Chain A
Amino acid sequence: EIVLTQSPATLSLSPGERATLSCRASQSVSSYFAWYQQKPGQAPRLLIYDASNRATGIPARFSGSGSGTDFTLTISSLEPEDFAVYYCQQRANWPLTFGGGTKVEIK
C-alpha cells in the first residue's frame, strides 16, 4: 500500500498569505496524484488532478506541482473561503490512498 504523508498537519495563516502544503508518497506514483478540499460538514471537492491540472471551476490561485514521491499544493493568496482541510490522493496503485490531511486555519 502506498502511504501518503502530509505536512504540516496544521497551517495557521492570514487571508492574503501564501499557503504551501506538502505530500510525500512512500513510493513513486508518477503524476497520478490529486488534491481535494473539504470544508466542515461538506463533501470533499477535487481541486487538482495529475499533480498539476486544475479541475473544472477551480480558481487559478490553486496550483499543484511535483512528480514521483513529492508533491506540493500552493494557494497563492488565501481567500476566506480557502480555510479548510486539504487531502492528497494517489491513483497509481490499488488500494487508492489518501493522506491524513492538512488543516489550513485562520491565524
Chain B
Amino acid sequence: EVQLVESGGGLVEPGGSLRLSCAASGFTFSSYSMNWVRQAPGKGLEWVSSILINSGYMKYADSVQGRFTISRDDAKNSLYFQLSSLRAEDTAVYYCARSANFGYWYLDLWGRGTLVTVSS
C-alpha cells in the first residue's frame, strides 16, 4: 500500500525540541521530493518545508527558518523534521506530504499527521 506514516509528535515545553519522522512505503521514496505542511487547531494549511530528491536543496517558511531542519534518509525510506526552539504558535498537526512527479510541489500523497503541542 502506498502510504506515509508520521510519528514523533507530542507535548513539549516552549523552547524545547522534537524530532518528527515520516515512514514511506509502497513507492520509490528516493524518486520524490518531500514536504512538511502544518495545520494549527481549527486553522488552515501552512506549508513549512520542502526537500528535493537527493537532498539537493531545502526550503523553509520564514516562520521556522533557523529553528527547524528537514532531512531524508533514502536508504530507510524516511523523512525527518527536527524542531527546535519551539513556540506556542508551532502547535499544530504536522503532515508529511509527497510532491507529485507530474508537477513538483503539488502534494499528491499525505500522511495522517502527528500532533505537536507546545505548552508549559
Contacts and interface: CB of A to CB of B under 8 A. Distances in A.
B62 A50 contact: no
Contacts of B35: 96
Main secondary structure of the interface of A (DSSP, over half): loop
A87 B106 contact: no
A91 B106 contact: yes
B111 A43 contact: yes
A100 B46 CA distance: 9
Nearest to B95: A43
Interface in B1-56: 35, 37, 44-47, 50
Interface residues of B, number: 23
18 contacts: A32-B103, A36-B45, A43-B95, A43-B111, A44-B37, A44-B110, A45-B110, A46-B100, A49-B102, A49-B103, A49-B108, A55-B108, A87-B44, A87-B45, A91-B104, A95-B59, A96-B35, A96-B50
Interface residues of A, number: 24
Main secondary structure of the interface of B (DSSP, over half): strand
Interface of A: 32, 34, 36, 38, 42-46, 49-50, 55-56, 87, 89, 91, 94-101
Interface of B: 35, 37, 44-47, 50, 59, 61-62, 95, 100, 102-108, 110-113
Contacts of B47: 89, 95-98
Contacts of A98: 44-47
A61 B37 CA distance: 27
B101 to A, nearest CB: 11
Given A43-B112, A44-B110, A46-B100, 5 more contacts: A44-B107, A49-B103, A49-B106, A89-B106, A91-B103
A96 B103 CA distance: 13
Contacts of B50: 96
